[in-house]
Amino acid sequence: MTNASAGPRLLGPADVRQLAARLDLRPTKQRGQNFVIDPNTVRRIVRESGITGDDVVIEVGPGLGSLTLALLEVARRVVAVEVDPLLAELLPETIADYAPDQASRFEVVLADALRITEVPGPAPTALVANLPYNVSVPVLLHMMALLPSLERGLVMVQSEVADRLAATPGSKVYGIPSIKASWYADVRRAGAIGRNVFWPAPNVDSGLVAWTRREPPATTATREQVFGVVDTAFAQRRKTLRSTLKSLVDGSGERAEAALVAAGVDPQARGETLVLDDFVRITEALLETSSGATA
């Protein structure tokens, strides 16, 4: 695999440490930097993602390029969003060294993924990333909202976060991430990743989350209004919906109850028992009960 006409060479432990040494890089917890040092793991992520030679892939937090190189083995194009200027500057050079034949299909964007407003080139069709653990859920939701062209994705996140994203109603870990992600996609757990494939090894386990885009619910309410109701419902998780949602209708428990009944939801239920469509109906009923109450 070393001749110029072959696919990319993937990074092993020695390559990762060598690239880090060039930058005098000390991986920081603040940015959730844990670099994958196992080629089998990045190939598995690419395989599980289901991407093909037709896909334009967006990757968030490429780091030193371990997953990027594996994506370039398969994808038509890869756009990597990197917030660290040192890493972003080194990445094109790494791609040129390890994947010379694929380098023209790669682009790096120096930006904060939470604040990015557009992606250069053809519309991305898939998101595949080892997401920084401290911002994984907001980054995923931002990308899903920003890029309706995304058809599917696979992200590696902290194991507990993977559980939350893929949780179903009634589960202890079901909550805001589960419901908001379901606005955009069908989400499922897609496996676990051991700690020893990273450098430095994190002190938490990792999990894969796969998702497939689906149409958002048909509703007269906006996404922001529905998400506002979800946030409020889970602000005091142990309280009933009648109690938590009254703040949206001038503190009136009676009006909150009337909206819940109109939406076909038990006022004594808790948020953790409801699916997205329930929250959509509740939002519509609250809007009818009190104009602009949830905006």
pLDDT over threshold 80, residue 23 = yes
Alpha helix stretches (DSSP H) within 99-133: none
Q: How many CB atoms lie within 10 A of CB 43?
A: 15
Question: What pLDDT, in 10s, does the model give residues 79-103?
Answer: 999 999 999 999 999 999 999 999 9
Among residues 274, 78, 89, the alpha carbon closest in space to that of 175 is found at 274
pLDDT, residue 1, reads 41
Instruction: Give the three-state DSSP class for 123.
Output: coil
Q: Which residues, 6 or more positions from 284, have their beta carbon under 8 angstroms from its beta carbon? A: 219, 220, 221, 263
Domain positions in the chain: 13-213, 223-292
What are 116's two structure tokens? 């990015």
Name the DSSP letter for residue 116: -
- Region 199-212 average pLDDT: 93
Determine if residue 24 is labeled as part of a ligand binding site.
Answer: no
What does the alpha-carbon distance between residue 188 and residue 206 come to, in Å, rounded to a whole number? 14
Q: What are phi and psi of 69, to 5 degrees?
A: -65, -40
Q: Does domain 223-292 have CATH number 1.10.10.10?
A: no
CA proximity to 137, closest of 192, 188, 176, 191: 176
Find out whether 112 is annotated in a ligand binding site.
yes
Cα-based distances in Å from 268 to 145, 242, 274: 32, 6, 12
Q: Per the annotation, does 170 bind a ligand?
A: no
| Contacts (Cβ under 8 Å, ≥6 apart) of 216 | 183, 184, 223
Please, are residues 55 and 76 in contact by the beta-carbon 8 Å criterion? yes
* pLDDT band, residue 2 (cuts 50/70/90): very low
pLDDT at 237: 84
Which residue has tokens 């920081």?
Answer: 28
- Tell me whether residue 130 is annotated as binding: yes
pTM of the model: 0.92
Q: What is the pLDDT of residue 100?
A: 97
Predicted confidence at residue 291, as pLDDT, reads: 61
Q: Which residues partner with 58 through β-bridges?
A: 79, 127
Does 4 score more than 50 pLDDT? no
Answer for the pair 209, 189: CB distance below 8 angstroms, yes or no.
yes
Whether residue 61 is annotated as binding a ligand: the answer is yes
Q: What is the DSSP string of 137-197?
A: HHHHHHHHHH-TT--EEEEEEEHHHHHHHH--TTSTT-SHHHHHHHHHEEEEEEEEE-GGG
Among candidates 203, 196, 191, 276, which has minimal Cα distance to 233? 276
284 is in an annotated binding site: no
pLDDT one-digit tens code per residue, 29-62: 555 568 999 999 999 999 999 999 999 999 999 9
Taking CA atoms, 49 is separated from 37, 46, 75, 248, in Å, by 19, 5, 11, 40
Architecture of domain 13-213: 3-Layer(aba) Sandwich (3.40)
Please write the tens of the pLDDT for every residue from 124-139.
999 999 998 889 999 9
pLDDT band (50, 70, 90) for residue 242: very high
Dist CA 104 CA 102 (whole Å): 6
Average pLDDT over residues 197-218: 94
Residue 107's H or E segment, with its range, is: strand 106-110
13-213 and 223-292: identical CATH topology:
no
